[in-house]
Amino acid sequence: MNLYICSTFYHVLITVLKSIHTNKENAIAITGYIPEYDSLIAKLRKSDLFGDVIFLEQFSPQNDYEKEKWGKINVKKIEDKYSKLFYEYNEIYLFMDDICYARYLKTKHIYYNIIEDGFDCFKKTKMANSRFLYMVQDRKIGLNKKIYYLFHPYDYYNIDYYLKCKYVKTLEVNENIDLIINGKDKRVIEEKREQLFRLLDDDCKNVVIDIFLNDERIFKSDRIALVLTYCFYTDGKIDSEEKQVELYKRVCDYYRNKGLIPVIKPHPRDSVDYSCLNCQLLSKNFPAELIEYLDENKIIKYFSIYSSAIHRFDKIKVDYFETIDECEKYLEKNNY
């Protein structure tokens, strides 16, 4: 039996799809990074897709001493609670190589596999995440190191990530073209994400929908412009929540003027309150990739700045911008 460790709803979605297609008995571990994990775990168990559904605690430092020594203490806490768990499975799969459980596997010299965290997230883009680049490039670069430690102040210099780590057996990507990692490394394997979705029959689609969706199956309006937000304020790319709300207000006004009804689907890590925009708000706790299984005929346009989920939708319907500047220039050109 293989173990998949998931820290986002997207990770869970990909693991569910893989389990449906392989017909193998896998185990899935839900970490405390996922909000409302209790209900998700209950739905996963009810689905009977997995031989085991496990919860892995997200540990946090309790005092100043633990903050200072957090990397080593975290490993010790995992060792005390889950020491035997990771030896019970044939293969271990992770989506993120900087979570505490990845650190634990490295420290204990346990080999594991990595699956791409999002659609084409290893591709070179205009808005590449500096924190992520630090982990795959030369860590002697001062700027990347400084930015990385804003996110990981308790890390240690001797930790290697992704293909730099000798305990990584394979690294799965959607497409092995124009990557920021070494695509020629023999450990890099390609598996098209679209295949996982395309091969689903109606019964399997319903299984997936039941795991992730509650009352989001019905849109309240016709002729919808679906606005997928991104967590710019959370990631420090916009300096206030008000500016982020104003950005998406301009987007919603633009589509209203086009005769469409904006519906907002917040990014899972987006903490900004959009209730003042008077739009239908979909739950942020389900993968946007599933939106096509809703009443898709009502969606006229999809809008996104820097969202990997947008690539699942009909390109003719998509308004996509790689950066905030690109979007703002477009809105200004159209007097918004």
In this predicted structure, the answer to whether residue 3 has a pLDDT above a threshold of 90 is yes
Half-sphere exposure of 119 (CA within 13 A, CB side): 19
Mean pLDDT of the chain: 84
The CATH number given to whatever domain includes residue 257 is: 3.40.50.11110
Amino acid at 117: D
How large a percentage of the chain has pLDDT more than 70?
Answer: 84
pLDDT at 111 exceeding the cut of 80:
yes
Residues 256 and 201 both lie in one domain: no
Task: Decide which of 178, 211, 244 is a domain's last residue.
Answer: 211
Instruction: Give the pLDDT band of residue 236 (cuts 50, 70, 90).
Output: confident
Report, as an integer, the average pLDDT of 287-315: 83
**Co-location of 7 and 100 in the same domain:** yes
Same domain, 223 and 195: no
Q: State the pLDDT at residue 256.
A: 95
Q: Is the pLDDT of residue 140 over 50?
A: no
Q: For the residues 200-229, what does the mean pLDDT come to?
A: 83
Name the residue range of residue 272's domain: 217-333
- Gap between the Cα atoms of 4 and 53, Å rounded: 10
Domain termination site, one of 184, 211, 238:
211
| Whether residue 261 is found in the same domain as residue 205 | no
| Same domain, yes or no: 25 and 132 | yes
| Same domain? 327 vs 240 | yes
Instruction: Indicate if 63 and 85 belong to the same structural domain.
Output: yes
Q: What is the pLDDT of residue 211?
A: 92
Q: What is the pLDDT of residue 198?
A: 86
183 Cβ partners below 8 Å, 6+ apart?
Answer: 173, 176, 177
Evaluate if residue 187 carries a pLDDT over 90. Answer: yes
Q: Are residues 160 and 177 located together in one domain of the fold?
A: yes
Query: Mean pLDDT, to the nearest integer, of 261-282?
Result: 92
Q: Identify the residue with better confidence: 273 or 336.
A: 273
Output the pLDDT for position 75.
Answer: 81
pTM exceeds cut of 0.75? yes
186 in Cβ contact with 163 (< 8 Å): no
pLDDT band at 153 (very low <50, low <70, confident <90, very high): very low
pLDDT band, very low/low/confident/very high, at 118 (cuts 50, 70, 90): confident
Which pLDDT value is given to residue 157?
Answer: 43
238 and 244 Cβ atoms separated by less than 8 Å = yes
Res. 69 pLDDT band, cuts 50 70 90:
low
**Two structure tokens written together for 111:** 């080999």
Together in a domain, 202 and 258: no
Q: What is the spatial distance between Cα 222 and Cα 297, in angstroms, rounded to a whole number?
A: 9
Give the mean pLDDT of 4-29: 92
Q: Residue 121's domain is classified under what CATH number? A: 3.40.50
- Which of 160, 178, 211 is a domain's end point? 211
If asked whether residues 167 and 230 sit together in one domain, one would say: no
- What's residue 149's pLDDT? 47
At residue 66 the predicted structure's pLDDT band, cuts being 50, 70 and 90, is low
Q: What's the domain count of the chain?
A: 2
**Nearest alpha-carbon partner for 328 in 237, 255, 245, 247:** 247
SS (H, E, C) the chain: CEEEEECCHHHHHHHHHHHHHHCCCEEEEEECCCCCHHHHHHHHHHHCCEEEEEEECCCCCCCHHHHHCHHHHHHHHHHHHHCCHHHCCCCEEECCCCCHHHHHHHHCCCCEEEECCCCCCCECCCCCCHHHHHHHCCCCCHHHHHHHHHHCCCCCCCCCCHHHCCCEEEEEECCCCCECCCCCCCCEEECCHHHHHHCCCHHHHHHHHHHHCCCCCCCCCCCEEEEECCCCCCCCCCCCHHHHHHHHHHHHHHHHHCCCEEEEECCCCCCCCCHHHCCEECCCCCCHHHHHHCCHHHEEEEEEECCHHHHHCCHHHEEEECCHHHHHHHHHHCCC
Identify the pLDDT of residue 141.
42
The burial class, CB within 10 Å (0-12 / 13-18 / 19+), for 175 is middle
Answer yes or no: do 7 and 132 share one domain.
Answer: yes
Query: Where does the pLDDT of residue 150 fall: very low under 50, low under 70, confident under 90, or very high at 90 and above?
Result: very low
Same domain, 277 and 240: yes
